[in-house]
Amino acid sequence: MCRNFLRIDRGTFGVLLEMIRDVGGQSGTKNMRLEEIGVGFLYTVAQHKKKNRMIGAYFYRSGESVNRQFHACLKAILKLHVVLLKKPSPIAEDCEDDRWKYFKNCLGALDGTMIYVNVPTADQSKYRIRKGNLTTNVLGVCSVEMEFIYVLLGWEGSAHDGRILRDAISRPNGLKVPKGYYYLCDGYTNGDRFLASFRGHLYHLKEWNSGPHRPQTAEEYFNLSYPQARNVIGRCFGLLKGRWGILRSPSWFSLQTHGRIVLACALLHNLVKRYMSPESSDDDELYEEIESDGDESDDDDDDELEYISPLMMDESTASGCAIGVASGGTSEGGRGKNKRFWTKEEDNVLVAALSDMNVDPH
């Protein structure tokens, strides 16, 4: 029952209570024990009942008591970031994992995801995405072990991923990438300490799996190995939304509170990965509860993706991927679908046609 209703087992729940008490400074009240406060919080974020009175009826408490203790527990859990956020560790030279052995000194992967929110009418235009939903954009960075390293909240759903990443690395307490290390990213501009895939070639796993494709060039071999490692952030987001139902639909909380809830859920995700046994984590069932994450954010940014050049790296960092190859435009041997640049002759024809239309609109 603890796993079904709270999404964690009893042992992990006991660890959480100790952290809330010792690190978060939260304690029980005269009328409500700390165990009940923790259960109420987890039940709210896991099952996402729409109103406080529904949760109050389940626990035989007033809606005001449920709301007050929920926010107190939320503040206590946010204080746990000092112990629950993962410290980045690079891929070692002797790594034998087939997914990561080609990416020496890699710290993990990053990507953005959309979280549905309720927004005041005056601000809805900023949070409305192309599909018409109101969302907030969340930037997540995770490690190889699928634990969150960094989470940036608060950006509107219409904001471009590149702009959010620039904000993350420019903040005084933002995302820090040591020199000589890097993160895997997709949909972002390729640059120093951020490695993206080759444009003009297949770069999604579903494209490689659609037929008997075999890499023919260094770029294609890299684009096959790259998503196998980078999709760790997609699986991380999938588990996050699958376990905590409050992230799958808009809640009645304000934008600020909902952002804090997202961060608290990310910390609880790290707690589960660290202390909960794989046999009782039910990861497969959580994947079935939610569609593949990342499709929504990718669809919204497809029109704005920047064409990038490969990041030049030394042979020890490339380690078999041969990514130190410069390419411009379409490459010989590439099999990308609809990946083509305009030729000079076509540019001239287009300019001439536009000039004629300007002279005679009919």
Burial of 305 (0-12, 13-18, 19+ CB in 10 A): middle
| pLDDT in the model for residue 322 | 30
pLDDT of 338: 52
Between the alpha carbon of residue 166 and those of residues 43, 195, 227, the distances in Å are 36, 15, 23
Q: What whole-number distance in Å separates Cα of residue 57 and Cα of residue 100?
A: 49
Task: Give the CA distances from residue 135 to residues 60, 108, 265, 268, in Å, rounded to whole numbers and listed in that order.
Answer: 33, 25, 17, 22
Any residues with CB less than 8 A from the CB of 174 and at least 6 apart, and which?
Answer: 150, 152, 167, 168
In tens digits, the chain (362 residues) has pLDDT values of 888 888 899 999 999 999 999 999 988 888 889 999 999 999 999 988 767 777 888 888 888 888 889 999 999 999 999 999 999 999 988 888 888 988 999 999 999 999 999 888 888 888 888 888 899 999 999 999 999 999 999 898 888 888 899 899 999 889 999 998 999 987 777 778 898 877 766 555 555 555 566 666 777 778 778 888 888 999 999 999 999 989 988 888 888 899 999 999 999 999 999 998 876 666 656 655 554 444 444 444 444 443 333 333 333 333 333 322 223 333 344 444 455 778 889 999 999 999 888 887 66
In this prediction, residue 219 carries a pLDDT of: 76
- pLDDT value at position 282? 62
- The 3-state secondary structure of the chain, one letter per residue: CHHHHHCCCHHHHHHHHHHHHHCCCCCCCCCCCHHHHHHHHHHHHHHCCCCHHHHHHHHCCCHHHHHHHHHHHHHHHHCCHHHHCCCCCCCCCCCCCCCCCCCCCEEEEEEEEEEECCCCHHHHHHHECCCCCEEEEEEEEECCCCCEEEEEEEEECCCCHHHHHHHHHHCCCCCCCCCCCEEEECCCCCECCEECCCCCCCCCHHHHCCCCCCCCCHHHHHHHHHHHHHCHHHHHHHHHHHHCHHHCCCCCCCHHHHHHHHHHHHHHHHHHHHHCCHHHHCHHHHHHHCCCCCHHHHHHHHHHCCCCCCCCCCHHHHCCCCCCCCCCCCCCCCCCCCCCCCCHHHHHHHHHHHHHHHHCCC
Round to whole Å and give the CA distance between 192 and 244: 35
Give the integer Cα–Cα distance in Å for 286 and 237.
11
Query: Which tokens in the block code for residue 292?
Result: 């593949």
Domain ranges of the chain: 2-79, 106-304
